[in-house]
Amino acid sequence: MYLGQPLTRAGRWTRAGITSGPAALWLGIFLVLPLAAILAISFLTRGEYGGVELRFTFDSYKRLAGFGELGFDSLYPVVLGRSLALGMATAVLCLAAALPLAFFIARLSERYKGAALTLVVIPFWTNLLIRTYAWQILFSPNSWLTIAAHSLGIGTAGEALYPGMLAVLTGMVCDFLPFMVLPLYASVEKMDWTLAEAAADLGADRWRVFRHALLPQIWPGLGAGFILVFLPATGQFVIPDLLGGAKTAMLGNVIQQQFASSRDWPFGSAIAAVALLLVLVGLAIFQRKGSKHEVLP
């Protein structure tokens, strides 16, 4: 079929079906259907022995908001908030680390660029558990890293750095850094540096050169990196478990619990649905803010 020729109405539908059909089918089976199922289950009643009963109710959402059968309990709102906060903290820390790194790599000579990018990606190829256990060893009471940290005044002398918030954040940043560095690097790499010169020439100091000439150019990469880190970091629970001492419930392990040991599918689905909603709201805010910085091709 020659794709350039004018088509009849039926022909257009055929073409649309051939070109976008497979993708639509894929998305329908693997994205829309499961999401719809989760949303539907979250409004149903928990079955006696697991599974669900077809009775519509808002109970799961009420429980999630803290109004369960036994009166107000802040556990679940706190878990939700904690997970979002951890995701946000991870994304912000990754951004702080990745921004200078991306600029540094982009300004290296061609010879060293490849090597530097490989070094960034290598941790990504290592198993998450092995990396996390490695941090446990490094943060143990007598490791050189702990001793060095103590001598710098970080933590209490004689105590391990893990389990603790510092260990969790270190592990998280270590895990998610490549997802921030790579998109940022891609936009720094194709940056038009004469815009920075133009801004300086027009009277902008260093900060304002960055703010007005460079930041708008890397905004798309920054947004992509933020999303790539924030979303999975919100659901991450292995690292908080292993480095945080398995004392703090996170979104990920609460959901997992509901489907496995508690056998409360509707509640697990409700948590997942609300988490998804909150993340989407966050993204919408981010995108609206970002559209002001939109860089035309």
Partner 1 sequence: MQGERHLEPQECSVPLAVEVVSLLRQFGSVVALSGVSLEIRKGEFFSLLGPSGCGKTTLLRVIAGLDLPDGGLIKISGRDASEIPAHRRPVNTVFQSYALFPHLTVSDNIAFGLRMKKIAAAEIADRVQRVLALMQITELATRKPAQLSGGQKQRVALARALVNEPEVLLLDEPLGALDLQLRRQLQVELHQLQRKLGITFIMVTHDQEEALVMSDRIAVMNAGKIEQLGSAREIYERPRTRFVAQFIGQCNLFKADVRPTNNGDILARTELGEFSVSNVSKDPTRPGSFVAIRPEKIQLLGGATCGVKNSFTAHIEGFTYCGAETRYRLLAGQQTVNVVVMNREASAVFQPGETVQCLLPAEHLILLDA
| Residue 206-225 contact track with partner 1, rule CB under 8 A, x = bound | --xx--xx--x---------
Return the residue of 88, 117, 138, 204 that touches partner 1, per CB under 8 A: 204
> Smallest distance from the beta carbon of 216 to partner 1, in angstroms?
4
Backbone angles phi, psi at 282, to 5 degrees: -55, -45
Among 53, 73, 159, 192, binds partner 1 (CB under 8 A): 192
Based on the shown chain and the rule CB under 8 A, indicate whether residue 297 belongs to the binding site for partner 1.
yes
Q: Which of residues 255-294 bind partner 1 (CB under 8 A)?
A: 293-294
Asked if 194 interacts with partner 1 (CB under 8 A), we say yes
Q: Which stretch binds partner 1 (CB under 8 A): 3-11, 79-87, 166-174, 193-201?
A: 193-201
The yes or no reply on residue 295 touching partner 1 (CB under 8 A) is: yes
Minimum distance from residue 288 beta carbon to partner 1 (Å) = 15
Shortest CB 226 distance to partner 1, Å = 19
- Smaller CB separation from partner 1, 131 or 293: 293
Using the minimum distance from each CB to partner 1, give the nearer residue, 54 or 296.
296
Closer residue to partner 1 in complex, CB, 94/196: 196
Single out the residue of 8, 203, 247, 288 in contact with partner 1 (rule: CB under 8 A): 203
- What single string gives the DSSP state of each residue in the chain? --TTS---HHHHHHHHHHHHHHHHHHHIIIIIHHHHHHHHHHTSEEPBTBSEES---SHHHHHHTTEETTEE--HHHHHHHHHHHHHHHHHHHHHHHHHHHHHHHHTS-HHHHHHHHHHHHHHHHS-HHHHHHHHHHHTSTTSHHHHHHHHTT-S-TTS-S-SSHHHHHHHHHHHHHHHHHHHHHHHHHT--THHHHHHHHTT--HHHHIIIIIHHHHHHHHHHHHHHHHHHHHH--HHHHHHHTS-S--HHHHHHHHHTTS--HHHHHHHHHHHHHHHHHHHHHHHHHHHTTPPP-
Would you give the distance in Å from CA 12 to the centre of its chain? 39
Q: Which stretch binds partner 1 (CB under 8 A): 16-24, 76-84, 196-204, 249-257?
A: 196-204
State the nearest-atom distance from the C-beta of 296 to partner 1, in Å. 4
Site residues for partner 1 per CB under 8 A: 192, 194-195, 197-205, 208-209, 212-213, 216, 293-297
